[in-house]
Copies of this chain bind each other. A is one copy, B any other.
Amino acid sequence: MAMTHPPEPIAHGGALSEAIAKHGGEPSQWLDLSTGISPFSLPLPELAKNMWRRLPEMAEASRVGEKAMKYYGGSVLPLAVPGTQAAIQLLPFLRPDTGEVAIVSPTYGEYEKSFRRAGIEVDLVSTLDAAAATRAGIVVLANPNNPDGRETMRDDVFGFVRTQRHRLVIVDEAFADLRRDLSMVGAAGMEPNLIVLRSFGKFFGLAGLRLGFVFAEPGLNRILADRIGPWAVSGPALAIADHAFSRMDLVSELRERIDKAHGQTRSALNMAGVSIVGETPLFFCCEVGDGEEVRDALASHQVLVRSFEHSPSHIRIGLVPDDLSAVRLRETLRLVLPRSA
């Protein structure tokens, strides 16, 4: 893999300070809906002081891995990583001789970046069927997809994995926490050419923790573990995940709050006359004509959403945390959107 000149970072959601630098206001005045992270966080446990002091031990990572396996419904022990982003950085090493990767697109931009960095040719395809027609040794699918919410039925993913044994299939299920019906987690490890990535921070509202899990057969996981190195995940992240996976009562509560906020956000969008073209439990993808313009107009009212170069007519809107924010979103959208006849 040749060294390439490091490209500029991709603009992501969550850059509130940049928005403040441009549009003013205090952080507390902003309604930040620019990410797909739940606005509700798992109540944090009291952390033993030891968690901060000591290097996290392998035994702790294994114990959390076992709980993650049960929680996500996996068949094999996952590898804990400091955010799925950290795993994405390393995916090219799984098949370094692969000349080509097919990415079902548009999707999370860091996949393309990671494979290009490794000198692997990137084929942006629009469906799994199209991926089957390429020479790609690796296929990437986010399910449900970010940012458009597109879903691929589990049977279709299964069929692809089974019939395309010569390809490594990477399924990013960062937004599948409330969509077990779509998840391939249980098949990872059983199917030797399947890898499933799960994000901890999005559903649990703890993105600052940096934690994710990779489900795959042990050989693939060992390559990633070796590349990522020892003590990659912080002690507090492991302790908080341990807590989360043991408290199904708190998980149910989070789920209910997310469901409610999802309904409130949908109503706000509907009442503002915004056309929803896709969704996951944690965000909506909306058709607004000129995404960048609408994003800027909303930002001038301290409401932050995300626009996309690859989908210039869309914006992505995360969940509002409460009634008041729902009203604010609705009214601000009404204010900035061109009225159609």
A: residues with CB less than 8 A from B are 1-3, 6-7, 9-10, 12, 14-18, 35, 37, 41, 44, 49-60, 82-83, 85-86, 88-89, 93, 96-97, 110, 114, 117, 201, 205-210, 222-223, 225-237, 240
Contacts and interface: CB of A to CB of B under 8 A. Distances in A.
- Pick the most buried of A54, A89, A222: most chain B CB atoms within 10 A of its CB: A54
A59 B231 contact: no
B226 A6 contact: yes
Contacts of A110: 229-230
Contacts of A209: 52, 234-236
Given A7-B226, A117-B226, A208-B56, A86 B232 contact: yes
23 contacts: A3-B96, A6-B226, A7-B226, A10-B230, A12-B230, A15-B58, A17-B59, A17-B60, A18-B58, A41-B49, A41-B53, A51-B208, A52-B208, A52-B240, A53-B205, A53-B206, A53-B208, A54-B208, A82-B210, A83-B232, A85-B232, A88-B229, A210-B233
Contact of A229 (B85, B206, B230): B85
Contacts of A54: 14, 16, 35, 37, 207-208
A167 B77 CA distance: 42
A230 to B, nearest CB: 6
Contacts of A18: 57-59
Contacts of A52: 41, 44, 206, 208-209, 240
Contact of A222 (B6, B229, B237): B6
A41 B49 CA distance: 9
Contacts of A85: 229-232
A3 B102 CA distance: 21
Nearest to A10: B230
Contacts of A86: 229, 232
Given A9-B230, A82-B234, A235-B208, A35 B14 contact: no
Given A14-B55, A17-B57, 5 more contacts: A6-B223, A10-B230, A16-B54, A37-B53, A86-B229
Which 8 A-B residue pairings sit nearest by Cβ, starting from the closest?
A: A208-B235, A6-B226, A17-B59, A89-B229, A210-B234, A14-B55, A3-B96, A55-B207
A83 B231 contact: yes
A114 B18 CA distance: 36
